[in-house]
Structure 1
Amino acid sequence: MLYLEDIKIGDRFISREYEMKLEEIKQFAQAYDPQDFHLNEEKAKDHSIFQGLAASGWHTAAVTMRLWTECFPIANGLIGAESNIRWPRPTRPDDKLHVEVEIVAITPSKSKNDRAIVSYVTQTLNQHADVLFISTTKIIVFKKEISSV
């Protein structure tokens, strides 16, 4: 597990690969984002800007979150404070995703000396190195000596 003392600006973390299967895309969409371009190959091909079935952006975000937790093991968890998200390209069935995280800022708390706000940029890429998801996120990260008391 990583504490504030363990990370610095420029640190990078890379996740394992995760394959987006057609059935999983449809199941997620049926439960959380039931739109034709996530559920119906024919309609997605003929009647959508995606020109084919695309995973919900929120599904891509959820997979990104899973991969974050595995490759970026912050002690006390990834406690979000803010995030800005973009989806420059759709995620397709059988895409193999991985996440790349880079620490871009560390801002110590002015009122609590046991923590800082850590900002990082995440890119979720497919097997062709196409960027499917980009976020700039701020999380709370605690110091080791204080959080272990």
Structure 2
Amino acid sequence: MWYLEDLNIGDKFRSRNYEVTLEEIIEFATKYDPQVFHLDEEKAKDHPIFQGIAASGWHTSSIVMRLWTECFPIADGLIGLEGSMRWPKPTRPGDILHVEVELTDIIPSKSKPDRGIVVYSTQALNQHGDVLLNSSTKILVFRKPQ
């Protein structure tokens, strides 16, 4: 587990691979984002943007969260403070995703010396190197207990 003093600007982390299945895309969409281009292969073919079934951006984000927790093990968890994300290309059935994380800033707290803020950028890429998600995230990270 990593604490604030274990981290440096420029540190990079890479996750394992994760294969996205059609069944998983439909299951997630059925529960959380029931739109035709996430649910029906035939109807999705006619969509002007997706031109085929695509995972919900929130599904892709959930996979990224899982991969973050595995490759970027912060003591006391990834406690999110702020984030922004983009989905430049859709995630498709059969895509094999991995995430690449780079620390871009570390800001020790002036008022609470036991913690700080870590800023990192993430790219989720598929097996072709296509970027499916870009994000910038701020998390709370604690120092090692004294």
Q: After TM superposition, is the score higher than 0.5?
A: yes
Partner secondary structure for residue 38 of structure 2: helix
Amino acid at match of 2:60: T
Paired position in structure 1 for 2:23 = 23
5+ unaligned residues in a row in structure 1: which ranges? Answer: none
Letter in 1 for 2:119: S
* Paired residues of 1:37 and 1:48 also in contact (CA < 8 A): no
- Cα shift readout 1:62-98 (whole Å, capped 9, x = no counterpart): 0000000000000000000000010000000000000
In structure 1, distance between residues paired with 2:79 and 2:104:
17
Q: C-alpha distance in 2, partners of 1:138/1:121? A: 9
- Map residues 101-112 of structure 1 onto 2, 5 A cutoff: 101-112=101-112
Measured after TM superposition, the shift of residue 48 of structure 1 is 3.6
Secondary structure, counterpart of 1:77 in structure 2: coil
Residue 112 of structure 1: SS of its match in structure 2? coil
Q: 2:54 — aligned with what?
A: 54
SS in 2 for 1:54: coil
Which position in structure 1 is the counterpart of 2:137? 137
Task: Give aligned pairs, total.
Answer: 146
Runs of 4+ deviating beyond 4 Å = none
Identity of aligned residues (%): 69
Which residue number in structure 1 is paired with residue 71 of structure 2? 71
Give the conservation status (yes or no) of the 8 Å contact 1:74–1:141.
yes
What is the distance in 2 between the residues matched to 1:28 and 1:41?
Answer: 15
2 CA distance for matches of 1:75 and 1:98?
22
- State the shift of 1:42 in Å: 1.1
Structure 2 residue runs of 5 or longer lacking an equivalent are none
TM-score, with structure 2 as normaliser: 0.98
